[in-house]
Amino acid sequence: MAAFDPVPPPRRPDRRAPHPRFAAFLRRARRGCVRLGFAVASVVTLAVATDAPAATARPTVPAAGLQLGGVSYTDARARFASIGYESDYDAKAQTLAVRAKDKTTPGHELVFTVEKREARLDGMRVFLGEPAVLHRGELHLATLDFERFLLPILHPARLPARALRTVVIDAGHGGVDTGTQNKAHRLDEKVFALDVALRLQALLGDERWRVLQTRTEDRFVPLGERAEFANKEKADLFISIHFNAVANNSTVRGTETYVLTPRFQRSTSSPKATAEDKVEQVGNRHDAWSAVLGHRMHRELLSRLKTDDRGLKRARFAVLRLVDCPAVLIEAGYLSNDDEARRIADEDYREEIARALHAAILAYDQARAAAEIEAVMVPEHWR
Protein backbone atom coordinates (compact mmCIF):
# COMPACT_ATOMS: atom_id res chain seq x y z
CA MET A 1 0.00 0.00 0.00
CA ALA A 2 3.00 2.27 -0.46
CA ALA A 3 1.13 4.32 -3.04
CA PHE A 4 -1.50 5.30 -0.45
CA ASP A 5 0.86 6.00 2.41
CA PRO A 6 -0.37 9.35 3.76
CA VAL A 7 3.04 10.13 5.28
CA PRO A 8 5.11 12.30 2.88
CA PRO A 9 8.65 11.10 2.05
CA PRO A 10 11.39 12.54 4.29
CA ARG A 11 12.84 15.85 3.08
CA ARG A 12 16.50 16.18 2.20
CA PRO A 13 18.34 17.57 5.27
CA ASP A 14 19.40 21.24 4.95
CA ARG A 15 23.11 20.52 5.24
CA ARG A 16 22.91 18.43 2.10
CA ALA A 17 20.87 20.99 0.16
CA PRO A 18 22.33 21.94 -3.24
CA HIS A 19 23.34 25.49 -4.14
CA PRO A 20 20.14 27.68 -4.36
CA ARG A 21 20.61 28.33 -8.13
CA PHE A 22 21.19 24.63 -8.82
CA ALA A 23 18.17 23.79 -6.65
CA ALA A 24 16.02 26.20 -8.69
CA PHE A 25 17.26 24.56 -11.91
CA LEU A 26 16.49 21.10 -10.50
CA ARG A 27 12.97 22.22 -9.50
CA ARG A 28 12.28 23.56 -13.03
CA ALA A 29 13.67 20.40 -14.62
CA ARG A 30 11.64 18.15 -12.29
CA ARG A 31 8.44 20.11 -12.94
CA GLY A 32 8.99 19.64 -16.64
CA CYS A 33 9.62 15.91 -16.22
CA VAL A 34 6.64 15.46 -13.90
CA ARG A 35 4.37 17.23 -16.34
CA LEU A 36 5.70 15.15 -19.21
CA GLY A 37 5.53 11.95 -17.15
CA PHE A 38 1.92 12.59 -16.08
CA ALA A 39 0.88 13.68 -19.55
CA VAL A 40 2.27 10.55 -21.20
CA ALA A 41 1.01 8.29 -18.39
CA SER A 42 -2.44 9.86 -18.55
CA VAL A 43 -2.79 9.46 -22.28
CA VAL A 44 -1.58 5.85 -22.21
CA THR A 45 -3.57 5.03 -19.06
CA LEU A 46 -6.80 6.46 -20.42
CA ALA A 47 -6.24 4.59 -23.64
CA VAL A 48 -6.14 1.22 -21.87
CA ALA A 49 -8.52 1.80 -18.95
CA THR A 50 -11.67 3.83 -19.21
CA ASP A 51 -12.10 4.03 -15.46
CA ALA A 52 -8.55 5.19 -14.80
CA PRO A 53 -8.29 8.17 -12.43
CA ALA A 54 -7.65 11.77 -13.42
CA ALA A 55 -3.89 12.32 -13.24
CA THR A 56 -4.33 15.44 -11.11
CA ALA A 57 -6.25 13.67 -8.33
CA ARG A 58 -3.73 12.79 -5.60
CA PRO A 59 -4.57 11.77 -2.05
CA THR A 60 -3.40 14.38 0.44
CA VAL A 61 -2.41 13.95 4.09
CA PRO A 62 -5.68 13.19 5.93
CA ALA A 63 -6.94 15.15 8.91
CA ALA A 64 -6.08 13.70 12.33
CA GLY A 65 -7.87 10.36 12.72
CA LEU A 66 -10.80 9.65 15.00
CA GLN A 67 -10.72 6.56 17.25
CA LEU A 68 -14.03 4.96 18.20
CA GLY A 69 -14.22 1.62 20.01
CA GLY A 70 -10.71 0.69 18.90
CA VAL A 71 -11.45 1.50 15.25
CA SER A 72 -9.70 4.31 13.36
CA TYR A 73 -12.08 6.50 11.37
CA THR A 74 -11.43 9.12 8.72
CA ASP A 75 -13.50 12.12 7.61
CA ALA A 76 -15.20 10.94 4.41
CA ARG A 77 -15.81 14.42 2.94
CA ALA A 78 -12.16 15.48 3.41
CA ARG A 79 -10.70 12.21 2.10
CA PHE A 80 -12.92 12.14 -0.98
CA ALA A 81 -12.19 15.84 -1.64
CA SER A 82 -8.49 14.97 -1.76
CA ILE A 83 -9.12 12.64 -4.72
CA GLY A 84 -11.38 15.04 -6.61
CA TYR A 85 -14.81 13.99 -5.32
CA GLU A 86 -17.47 16.28 -3.85
CA SER A 87 -19.87 15.25 -1.08
CA ASP A 88 -23.42 16.17 -0.23
CA TYR A 89 -24.86 15.28 3.19
CA ASP A 90 -28.62 14.75 3.50
CA ALA A 91 -29.39 15.29 7.20
CA LYS A 92 -32.91 13.86 6.95
CA ALA A 93 -31.88 10.60 5.27
CA GLN A 94 -28.51 10.61 7.11
CA THR A 95 -26.72 9.82 3.87
CA LEU A 96 -23.57 11.21 2.30
CA ALA A 97 -23.59 11.16 -1.50
CA VAL A 98 -20.13 11.37 -3.07
CA ARG A 99 -19.41 11.97 -6.76
CA ALA A 100 -16.53 13.03 -9.01
CA LYS A 101 -16.27 16.83 -9.21
CA ASP A 102 -15.05 16.82 -12.78
CA LYS A 103 -17.98 15.54 -14.83
CA THR A 104 -15.82 15.12 -17.94
CA THR A 105 -13.83 12.18 -16.56
CA PRO A 106 -15.41 8.78 -15.87
CA GLY A 107 -16.11 8.86 -12.16
CA HIS A 108 -18.02 6.89 -9.61
CA GLU A 109 -20.95 7.70 -7.33
CA LEU A 110 -21.06 6.46 -3.76
CA VAL A 111 -23.68 6.73 -1.03
CA PHE A 112 -22.97 6.06 2.66
CA THR A 113 -25.57 5.90 5.43
CA VAL A 114 -24.93 6.67 9.10
CA GLU A 115 -24.74 3.50 11.26
CA LYS A 116 -24.79 1.23 8.19
CA ARG A 117 -22.09 -1.05 6.80
CA GLU A 118 -23.97 -1.32 3.54
CA ALA A 119 -23.07 1.37 1.01
CA ARG A 120 -23.79 1.98 -2.68
CA LEU A 121 -21.15 2.21 -5.34
CA ASP A 122 -22.60 3.20 -8.71
CA GLY A 123 -25.91 1.82 -7.43
CA MET A 124 -24.33 -1.52 -6.45
CA ARG A 125 -24.51 -2.88 -2.90
CA VAL A 126 -21.10 -3.05 -1.21
CA PHE A 127 -20.46 -3.97 2.41
CA LEU A 128 -17.88 -2.10 4.45
CA GLY A 129 -16.06 -3.56 7.47
CA GLU A 130 -17.48 -0.99 9.88
CA PRO A 131 -20.60 1.17 9.83
CA ALA A 132 -20.25 4.83 8.82
CA VAL A 133 -20.50 7.14 11.86
CA LEU A 134 -21.49 10.77 12.30
CA HIS A 135 -18.97 12.81 14.30
CA ARG A 136 -19.40 16.57 14.81
CA GLY A 137 -21.76 16.73 11.86
CA GLU A 138 -19.39 14.95 9.46
CA LEU A 139 -19.75 11.37 8.23
CA HIS A 140 -16.69 9.25 8.97
CA LEU A 141 -15.64 5.91 7.48
CA ALA A 142 -13.29 3.33 8.96
CA THR A 143 -9.81 4.24 7.67
CA LEU A 144 -9.28 0.64 6.50
CA ASP A 145 -12.52 0.75 4.50
CA PHE A 146 -11.36 3.89 2.73
CA GLU A 147 -7.74 2.93 2.14
CA ARG A 148 -7.89 -0.82 1.58
CA PHE A 149 -11.21 -1.10 -0.18
CA LEU A 150 -12.72 2.06 -1.67
CA LEU A 151 -9.54 3.83 -2.83
CA PRO A 152 -8.17 0.75 -4.67
CA ILE A 153 -11.52 0.26 -6.43
CA LEU A 154 -11.70 3.93 -7.46
CA HIS A 155 -8.01 4.38 -8.34
CA PRO A 156 -6.37 1.01 -9.06
CA ALA A 157 -3.73 2.68 -11.24
CA ARG A 158 -2.02 3.87 -8.06
CA LEU A 159 -1.65 0.38 -6.60
CA PRO A 160 1.69 -1.43 -6.78
CA ALA A 161 1.72 -3.06 -10.21
CA ARG A 162 1.37 -6.83 -10.43
CA ALA A 163 1.63 -9.45 -13.13
CA LEU A 164 -1.09 -11.67 -14.56
CA ARG A 165 0.22 -14.89 -16.05
CA THR A 166 -1.66 -17.72 -14.37
CA VAL A 167 -5.40 -17.85 -13.65
CA VAL A 168 -6.68 -20.65 -11.41
CA ILE A 169 -10.39 -21.45 -11.69
CA ASP A 170 -11.89 -23.28 -8.73
CA ALA A 171 -15.12 -25.19 -9.32
CA GLY A 172 -16.67 -25.49 -5.86
CA HIS A 173 -17.38 -28.88 -4.19
CA GLY A 174 -17.29 -32.20 -6.16
CA GLY A 175 -17.51 -35.97 -5.55
CA VAL A 176 -19.23 -36.79 -2.25
CA ASP A 177 -19.54 -33.08 -1.55
CA THR A 178 -22.54 -32.11 -3.67
CA GLY A 179 -22.66 -28.54 -2.39
CA THR A 180 -26.09 -26.96 -2.14
CA GLN A 181 -29.02 -28.66 -3.79
CA ASN A 182 -32.50 -28.17 -5.14
CA LYS A 183 -33.85 -31.59 -4.22
CA ALA A 184 -37.25 -31.12 -5.86
CA HIS A 185 -35.60 -30.51 -9.24
CA ARG A 186 -32.59 -32.77 -8.51
CA LEU A 187 -30.04 -30.05 -9.05
CA ASP A 188 -26.56 -30.14 -7.45
CA GLU A 189 -24.26 -27.14 -7.03
CA LYS A 190 -21.14 -29.20 -7.83
CA VAL A 191 -22.39 -29.94 -11.36
CA PHE A 192 -23.12 -26.33 -12.27
CA ALA A 193 -19.97 -24.98 -10.63
CA LEU A 194 -17.82 -27.28 -12.78
CA ASP A 195 -19.83 -26.51 -15.91
CA VAL A 196 -19.32 -22.74 -15.47
CA ALA A 197 -15.63 -23.28 -14.63
CA LEU A 198 -15.07 -25.19 -17.90
CA ARG A 199 -17.00 -22.60 -19.89
CA LEU A 200 -14.87 -19.83 -18.37
CA GLN A 201 -11.69 -21.71 -19.30
CA ALA A 202 -12.92 -22.01 -22.89
CA LEU A 203 -13.60 -18.26 -23.03
CA LEU A 204 -10.20 -17.38 -21.57
CA GLY A 205 -8.42 -19.58 -24.12
CA ASP A 206 -4.79 -20.51 -23.67
CA GLU A 207 -2.92 -17.84 -25.62
CA ARG A 208 -2.97 -14.90 -23.30
CA TRP A 209 -2.78 -16.60 -19.93
CA ARG A 210 -2.04 -19.98 -18.42
CA VAL A 211 -5.44 -21.19 -17.20
CA LEU A 212 -5.67 -24.04 -14.67
CA GLN A 213 -8.54 -25.76 -12.83
CA THR A 214 -8.58 -27.16 -9.30
CA ARG A 215 -10.80 -29.95 -10.68
CA THR A 216 -11.99 -30.89 -14.14
CA GLU A 217 -14.18 -33.83 -13.14
CA ASP A 218 -16.66 -34.84 -10.45
CA ARG A 219 -14.21 -35.53 -7.62
CA PHE A 220 -13.78 -34.36 -4.06
CA VAL A 221 -10.93 -31.88 -3.51
CA PRO A 222 -10.31 -30.62 0.07
CA LEU A 223 -10.31 -26.82 0.45
CA GLY A 224 -6.68 -26.69 1.63
CA GLU A 225 -5.58 -28.66 -1.43
CA ARG A 226 -7.26 -26.19 -3.76
CA ALA A 227 -5.29 -23.29 -2.24
CA GLU A 228 -2.09 -25.36 -2.15
CA PHE A 229 -2.49 -26.15 -5.85
CA ALA A 230 -2.97 -22.45 -6.70
CA ASN A 231 0.08 -21.46 -4.65
CA LYS A 232 2.26 -24.22 -6.09
CA GLU A 233 1.31 -23.15 -9.62
CA LYS A 234 2.05 -19.51 -8.71
CA ALA A 235 -1.47 -18.32 -9.47
CA ASP A 236 -1.86 -14.59 -10.09
CA LEU A 237 -5.65 -14.76 -9.90
CA PHE A 238 -8.03 -17.21 -8.18
CA ILE A 239 -11.71 -17.45 -9.12
CA SER A 240 -13.90 -19.74 -6.99
CA ILE A 241 -17.30 -20.57 -8.46
CA HIS A 242 -20.32 -21.52 -6.33
CA PHE A 243 -24.11 -21.49 -6.20
CA ASN A 244 -26.03 -20.71 -3.06
CA ALA A 245 -29.03 -21.98 -1.12
CA VAL A 246 -30.87 -20.96 2.00
CA ALA A 247 -33.10 -23.14 4.16
CA ASN A 248 -36.75 -22.28 4.75
CA ASN A 249 -36.83 -19.21 2.52
CA SER A 250 -37.39 -19.96 -1.13
CA THR A 251 -37.87 -16.28 -2.02
CA VAL A 252 -34.19 -15.36 -1.57
CA ARG A 253 -32.39 -15.08 -4.91
CA GLY A 254 -29.58 -13.16 -6.55
CA THR A 255 -25.83 -12.87 -6.82
CA GLU A 256 -23.23 -12.42 -4.08
CA THR A 257 -19.53 -11.80 -4.54
CA TYR A 258 -17.01 -12.39 -1.74
CA VAL A 259 -13.51 -11.14 -1.11
CA LEU A 260 -11.36 -11.93 1.92
CA THR A 261 -12.10 -9.84 5.03
CA PRO A 262 -9.13 -7.51 5.68
CA ARG A 263 -7.24 -7.98 8.95
CA PHE A 264 -8.71 -6.03 11.89
CA GLN A 265 -12.14 -5.99 10.24
CA ARG A 266 -15.32 -8.01 10.66
CA SER A 267 -16.74 -10.31 8.02
CA THR A 268 -20.11 -9.21 6.63
CA SER A 269 -21.92 -11.97 8.53
CA SER A 270 -20.24 -11.06 11.88
CA PRO A 271 -22.27 -8.72 14.07
CA LYS A 272 -19.25 -7.97 16.26
CA ALA A 273 -15.45 -8.27 16.34
CA THR A 274 -13.85 -11.68 17.03
CA ALA A 275 -10.31 -12.86 17.87
CA GLU A 276 -9.97 -14.20 14.31
CA ASP A 277 -10.20 -10.64 12.95
CA LYS A 278 -6.70 -9.94 14.28
CA VAL A 279 -5.05 -12.83 12.44
CA GLU A 280 -3.14 -11.91 9.29
CA GLN A 281 -4.04 -14.40 6.54
CA VAL A 282 -1.92 -15.18 3.48
CA GLY A 283 -4.66 -13.74 1.28
CA ASN A 284 -4.54 -10.43 3.16
CA ARG A 285 -1.35 -9.56 1.26
CA HIS A 286 -3.61 -8.95 -1.72
CA ASP A 287 -6.56 -7.09 -0.15
CA ALA A 288 -6.34 -4.09 -2.46
CA TRP A 289 -6.25 -6.05 -5.72
CA SER A 290 -8.87 -8.47 -4.41
CA ALA A 291 -11.13 -5.45 -3.81
CA VAL A 292 -10.60 -4.39 -7.45
CA LEU A 293 -11.30 -7.94 -8.65
CA GLY A 294 -14.39 -8.33 -6.44
CA HIS A 295 -15.78 -5.02 -7.65
CA ARG A 296 -15.30 -5.87 -11.34
CA MET A 297 -16.80 -9.35 -10.80
CA HIS A 298 -19.89 -8.14 -9.00
CA ARG A 299 -20.45 -5.33 -11.50
CA GLU A 300 -20.26 -7.67 -14.52
CA LEU A 301 -22.41 -10.38 -12.92
CA LEU A 302 -25.18 -7.92 -12.03
CA SER A 303 -25.18 -6.14 -15.36
CA ARG A 304 -25.28 -9.36 -17.40
CA LEU A 305 -27.46 -11.63 -15.26
CA LYS A 306 -29.98 -8.99 -14.12
CA THR A 307 -30.38 -10.84 -10.83
CA ASP A 308 -31.02 -9.43 -7.37
CA ASP A 309 -28.00 -7.65 -5.97
CA ARG A 310 -27.02 -9.51 -2.78
CA GLY A 311 -23.88 -7.40 -2.45
CA LEU A 312 -20.10 -7.39 -2.63
CA LYS A 313 -19.29 -8.93 0.76
CA ARG A 314 -16.34 -10.04 2.90
CA ALA A 315 -15.75 -13.47 4.42
CA ARG A 316 -12.85 -15.60 5.60
CA PHE A 317 -13.64 -18.64 3.45
CA ALA A 318 -10.75 -21.11 3.47
CA VAL A 319 -9.78 -20.69 -0.17
CA LEU A 320 -9.77 -16.88 0.12
CA ARG A 321 -7.66 -17.03 3.30
CA LEU A 322 -5.06 -19.44 1.97
CA VAL A 323 -4.36 -18.42 -1.63
CA ASP A 324 -1.40 -16.11 -2.16
CA CYS A 325 -2.91 -13.92 -4.90
CA PRO A 326 -5.95 -11.70 -5.51
CA ALA A 327 -8.99 -13.93 -5.10
CA VAL A 328 -12.75 -13.87 -5.33
CA LEU A 329 -15.56 -16.31 -4.57
CA ILE A 330 -18.81 -15.90 -6.41
CA GLU A 331 -22.22 -17.24 -5.44
CA ALA A 332 -23.83 -16.83 -8.84
CA GLY A 333 -27.41 -17.65 -7.80
CA TYR A 334 -29.70 -19.49 -5.37
CA LEU A 335 -30.62 -23.09 -6.15
CA SER A 336 -33.18 -22.89 -3.32
CA ASN A 337 -35.22 -20.41 -5.36
CA ASP A 338 -37.15 -22.45 -7.93
CA ASP A 339 -37.24 -19.72 -10.53
CA GLU A 340 -33.52 -19.01 -10.24
CA ALA A 341 -32.72 -22.75 -10.12
CA ARG A 342 -34.56 -23.15 -13.45
CA ARG A 343 -32.42 -20.40 -14.97
CA ILE A 344 -29.21 -21.97 -13.62
CA ALA A 345 -30.24 -25.33 -15.10
CA ASP A 346 -30.36 -23.65 -18.54
CA GLU A 347 -27.01 -23.85 -20.28
CA ASP A 348 -27.44 -20.50 -22.03
CA TYR A 349 -27.69 -18.89 -18.62
CA ARG A 350 -24.57 -20.67 -17.40
CA GLU A 351 -22.75 -19.47 -20.52
CA GLU A 352 -23.83 -15.93 -19.59
CA ILE A 353 -22.40 -16.40 -16.08
CA ALA A 354 -19.10 -17.53 -17.61
CA ARG A 355 -19.16 -14.51 -19.96
CA ALA A 356 -19.63 -12.19 -16.97
CA LEU A 357 -16.64 -13.76 -15.18
CA HIS A 358 -14.59 -13.48 -18.35
CA ALA A 359 -15.50 -9.79 -18.80
CA ALA A 360 -14.57 -9.15 -15.16
CA ILE A 361 -11.15 -10.76 -15.63
CA LEU A 362 -10.58 -8.54 -18.69
CA ALA A 363 -11.63 -5.46 -16.67
CA TYR A 364 -9.30 -6.49 -13.84
CA ASP A 365 -6.47 -6.95 -16.33
CA GLN A 366 -7.14 -3.49 -17.75
CA ALA A 367 -6.86 -1.95 -14.26
CA ARG A 368 -3.73 -4.01 -13.61
CA ALA A 369 -2.13 -2.91 -16.89
CA ALA A 370 -2.89 0.75 -16.06
CA ALA A 371 -1.06 0.32 -12.73
CA GLU A 372 1.88 -1.26 -14.56
CA ILE A 373 2.09 1.70 -16.96
CA GLU A 374 1.76 4.20 -14.12
CA ALA A 375 4.58 2.46 -12.25
CA VAL A 376 6.86 2.80 -15.26
CA MET A 377 5.86 6.32 -16.31
CA VAL A 378 5.61 7.99 -12.92
CA PRO A 379 8.49 7.28 -10.50
CA GLU A 380 7.40 6.26 -6.99
CA HIS A 381 8.56 9.51 -5.32
CA TRP A 382 6.46 11.61 -7.72
CA ARG A 383 3.28 9.57 -7.28
By beta carbon distance, the residue nearest Zn ion is: 242
Taking the least distance from each CB to Zn ion, the nearer of 179 and 262 is 179
CA 335, CA 243: separation in Å to the nearest integer? 7
Distance of CA 354 to the CA centre of its chain: 19
CB of 234 to Zn ion, least distance (A): 25
SS3 of the chain: helix, strand, coil, percent, to 5: 40, 25, 35
Nearer to Zn ion, 258 or 349 (CB): 258
With contact defined as beta carbons under 8 Å apart, do 69 and 129 qualify? no
- CA-to-CA separations, 95 to 59, 72, 133, 375, in angstroms, rounded: 23, 20, 10, 36
For Zn ion, the closer CB: 156 or 172:
172
Classified as helix, coil or strand, 300 is helix
**55 vs 193, beta carbon nearer Zn ion:** 193
Q: Which C-beta is closer to Zn ion: that of 107 or that of 179?
A: 179
User: Taking the complex as a whole, how short is the minimal distance between the CB of residue 347 and Zn ion, in angstroms?
Assistant: 20
SS3 188: strand
Please state, in angstroms and rounded to a whole number, the distance separating the CA atoms of residues 196 and 94.
41
Give me the least distance between CB of 240 and Zn ion, in Å please: 8
Least distance (Å) between residue 308 CB and Zn ion: 18
Beta-carbon contacts of 207 under 8 Å, excluding residues fewer than 6 positions away, are none
CB of 243 to Zn ion, least distance (A): 6
Residue 125 vs residues 46, 65, 177, 265, 293: alpha-carbon distances, Å: 27, 26, 31, 18, 15
CB 179, min distance to Zn ion, A? 4
- Shortest distance (Å) from residue 188 CB to Zn ion: 10
- Between 130 and 170, CB nearer to Zn ion: 170
For residue 223, what are the CA distances in angstroms to 191, 215, 228, 231? 17, 12, 9, 13
From CA 262, how far away is CA 321, in angstroms rounded? 10
Q: In the complex, which residues of this chain contact Zn ion (CB under 5 A)?
A: 172, 179, 242
The residue (of 84 and 294) whose beta carbon lies closer to Zn ion is 294
Which is closer to Zn ion, CB of 129 or CB of 179? 179
256 with 309: CB under 8 angstroms? no
Q: In the complex, what is the shortest distance from the CB of residue 245 to Zn ion, in angstroms, rounded to a whole number?
A: 9
d(CA 352, CA 193): 13
